[in-house]
Amino acid sequence: MESTPRGMLARAAAVLSAFGAHNRTLTQSDISRRTGLPLPSVHRICAELARLGALERIDGGRYQVGVRLWEVGSLAPRSQGLREIALPVMEDLYESTHENVQLVVREGLEALYIERISGRDAVRLKGRAGGRLPIHASSGGLVLLAHGGPTLLADVLDAGPQRLTENTVVSENGLRKLLDDIRRNDFVVCNRFLDEVTVAIAAPLRSAEGTVVAAMSIALSANTDHRPLVPALRTAARTVSRLLGSG
């Protein structure tokens, strides 16, 4: 367990960080165990966060993230302007493919999915909008890793990339070759990198300065031929990049 956070803001942040995709509701005892904070401190912090709307208390004495926290988080400049520009293009891409269409940014050594459009018949995915996946094993993450510079790659290698399936690329030589291919082709295909049932393709989104700031991806069943979707994805990514450059 990490050292116990000090200071009220650090402790409040630790309480909020205890929640995650697989821990959406927690008791105060759960939070205490996950943060290392004493139970009386957790009690006071949860009460204050609930008063401010950052947490909500539900049945059984459990807590969940409050709507006010989502409202504030949605104002983050890195996601807000990007989502507003990309969403209409993503909707058009979904209408032409009826597959999962995703918008991805980097957060540390993870791919953060800030938007997703999913169809009823599209393959079910491991991640979710607002969720994170390993940068080395997700299509959008690999696009961002390819354009993130040598320090980012060194950090990923130092962290020991995890092999999630037989197809996950984890060796230094393998990753370097894959990232070179991404930079050369301007897209990536990840066939069963995350699990045994999905294939994902992704392309970069560039700012007016030409910097890769995000990725757009399509995820579909590994039994479906992804090749016809590559041109549509690349066209959509170029459209968003052009719109970002005109902003």
pLDDT at 20: 77
How long is the chain?
A: 247
3-class DSSP assignment, residue 22: coil
| One domain for residues 104 and 226 | yes
C-alpha 75/C-alpha 79 separation (Å) is 8
Q: Choose the final residue of a domain: 26, 48, 72.
A: 72
Pairing of strands 100-107, 110-117: antiparallel
| One domain for residues 218 and 108 | yes
CATH code where residue 86 lies:
3.30.450.40
- Our CA dihedral for 167, 169, 170, 174, rounded to 10 degrees, sits at 130
- Is the pLDDT score of 129 beyond 60? no
| One domain for residues 141 and 237 | yes
pLDDT tens profile 231-242:
999 999 999 999
Contact yes or no for 101/125 (Cβ under 8 A): no
pLDDT at 73: 66
| One domain for residues 66 and 81 | no
Phi-psi sector, 76: left (phi>0), alpha (psi -120 to 50), beta = beta
C-alpha 75/C-alpha 234 separation (Å) is 28
When mean pLDDT is compared across 26-40, 114-128, 210-224, the lowest value belongs to 114-128
C-alpha 212/C-alpha 122 separation (Å) is 28
Residue 238 lies in a domain: yes
| One domain for residues 61 and 117 | no
Q: Record the tokens describing residue 23, joined without a space.
A: 């821990």
When mean pLDDT is compared across 3-7, 129-133, 182-186, 207-211, the lowest value belongs to 3-7
pLDDT at 81: 78
Residue 2 lies in a domain: no
- Is the pLDDT score of 128 beyond 60? no
- Please state, as a whole number, how many other Cβ atoms lie within 10 Å of the Cβ of residue 153: 18
| One domain for residues 141 and 196 | yes
pLDDT at 40: 94
Residue 3 lies in a domain: no
| One domain for residues 152 and 96 | yes
| One domain for residues 66 and 94 | no
Mean pLDDT along residues 159-170: 95
C-alpha 130/C-alpha 232 separation (Å) is 25
pLDDT at 149: 93
Q: How many domains does the chain have?
A: 2
- Is the pLDDT score of 201 beyond 70? yes
- Is the pLDDT score of 76 beyond 70? no
Compare 23 and 163 and report the one with higher pLDDT: 163
Domain span at residue 45 reads: 8-72
| One domain for residues 132 and 61 | no
- Is the pLDDT score of 110 beyond 60? yes
pLDDT at 83: 87
Q: Record the tokens describing residue 168, joined without a space.
A: 């996950």
State the pLDDT confidence band at 247, using cuts at 50, 70 and 90: very low
- Please state, as a whole number, how many other Cβ atoms lie within 10 Å of the Cβ of residue 34: 18
pLDDT at 1: 42
| One domain for residues 195 and 171 | yes
Q: What is the mean pLDDT of the chain?
A: 89
When mean pLDDT is compared across 7-16, 69-78, 103-112, the lowest value belongs to 69-78
| One domain for residues 95 and 44 | no
Contact yes or no for 135/111 (Cβ under 8 A): yes
Model's pTM, two decimal places? 0.72
- Closest C-alpha among 132, 139, 225 to residue 185: 139
